[in-house]
Amino acid sequence: EVQLVESGGGLVQPGGSLRLSCAASGFTFSSYDMHWVRQATGKGLEWVSAIGTAGDTYYPGSVKGRFTISRENAKNSLYLQMNSLRAGDTAVYYCARVPGGYCSGGSCSSDYGMDVWGQGTTVTVSS
């Protein structure tokens, strides 16, 4: 079964740091781009970061310079290091898989949507 399981959320003070983890199973983790998405209570979904199969990383302006995405393919794990946390970073954080370009049965295709999601881990930034 394809599965993503996030962990590491919790309560942290403003200005503090937290590291989220996402454990992948049931698929070849190293072949997929991976993303983090967050959702504040009662709000919509916000893309937070992405990492490609080659380790290239991307962020929106709202977290650039504060958050760092990384991956450890040998452990089938994705991480999000969050520094200088603010109240506005309070949210449920999801990891999600993106197939990208792939070949199967002699034909190649691409899918850059987020096809599998974890259940989320909650981060609360408060004093």
Q: Name the residues that contact other proteins, by CB under 8 A.
A: 33, 35, 44-47, 50, 52, 58, 60, 94, 98, 111-115, 117-120
For other proteins, the closer of residues 42 and 127 by Cβ is: 42
For other proteins, the closer of residues 16 and 88 by Cβ is: 88
Least distance to other proteins, CB of residue 1, Å: 13
For other proteins, the closer of residues 50 and 85 by Cβ is: 50
For other proteins, the closer of residues 6 and 89 by Cβ is: 6
Centre a 10 Å sphere on the Cβ of residue 31 and count the other Cβ atoms it contains: 13
In angstroms, rounded to a whole number, what is the distance separating the alpha carbons of residues 83 and 108?
Answer: 39
In angstroms, rounded to a whole number, what is the distance separating the alpha carbons of residues 111 and 11?
Answer: 35
Least distance to other proteins, CB of residue 5, Å: 11
Least distance to other proteins, CB of residue 15, Å: 27
Least distance to other proteins, CB of residue 14, Å: 26
